[in-house]
Amino acid sequence: MKYRTKRGSVGRPLVIKKLKRPEGTITIRYKKIRENRFAKDIINMINDGKKYDEIAKNLGITKQEVITINQNNTLRHGSKINKANIKDMINLGLTTKEISKIYRCKESAVIAILRNIDLKNNIKYEKEIDISISVRDMLNKGFNFNDISKELNIKRYNLFSVYNKYFKVYSSEVIDFDIIDKLLNIKLNYSDISRFYNIPKEYLMMIIKMNEEHKLERSKKKEKKVIIDEEDILTKSYKASDIDFYSSKYIR
């Protein structure tokens, strides 16, 4: 127990005052008990397939606290950064930016390891990754590729190509009309999209037109089916409510 002493004066006894802990402070012991309690819950939730975001919400603590507690108690992600640890953390809902903070390194280093790139002798790749990170951040702020192209003074499609190379947001293996819509929304044009799919622009426009016609045809069929279904509902209603009315409606 600690005491604070007050120097006495002549004819006055020495006064001993007990130190008081400020209200609201958390002791190291309490913090450790709390952490141990959370650690068990975190391990169980991870084993149940939950991600860090969901775990944090369930426990009422921050995502960073969940990561720190889990790492301190299990060393799940190891002490050294490697591809296996990065993939494990991504599967648990962490971003490459969050992972870089945990390992106290540049985000470009995390992405490079994930993509099997050695940055030691490849300044070009590091520059590309840094550009892709800038594009990602600007897209998250609501910029489109026209805006970003002007801001970074790099051609629009080159920016998109570098961004998608490292973040792999869009797949070009199959022509996906939902992806085409998304690419148009971020201000890529049809020439850019045809380059992305590695097909002539004329062919791209042709299949887009065919898709629109197909959607229109499906819409018409759906409307027709709704009308038929409504008639069936009315017929069933007549049958259930009034057999005489139903008979008089159809037998004349």
pLDDT tens-digit readout, 99-115: 998 888 999 999 999 99
Kindly state the helix (H) or strand (E) to which residue 18 belongs, with its residue range.
strand 15-18
Phi-psi region of 237 (alpha: psi -120 to 50; beta: other; left: phi over 0): alpha
Q: What is the pLDDT of residues 215-248, one digit of tens each?
A: 788 777 776 666 555 556 556 655 555 555 444 4
According to the model, what pLDDT value does residue 218 have?
A: 77
Question: What's the whole-number mean pLDDT along residues 154-183?
Answer: 94
> pTM for the complete prediction?
0.67
For the chain, percent of residues with pLDDT exceeding 70: 75
Q: What is the pLDDT of residues 184-203, one digit of tens each?
A: 999 999 999 999 999 999 99
Going from N- to C-terminal start, the domains of the chain cover: 119-166, 170-226
According to the model, what pLDDT value does residue 189 have?
A: 96
CA dihedral 183, 187, 192, 194 (to 10 degrees): 40
Residue ranges of alpha helices (H) inside 48-155 are 52-59, 63-74, 83-91, 96-103, 107-114, 123-140, 145-152
φ, ψ at 17 (rounded to 5°): -115, 135
Question: Can you name the CATH fold of 119-166?
Answer: Arc Repressor Mutant, subunit A (1.10.10)
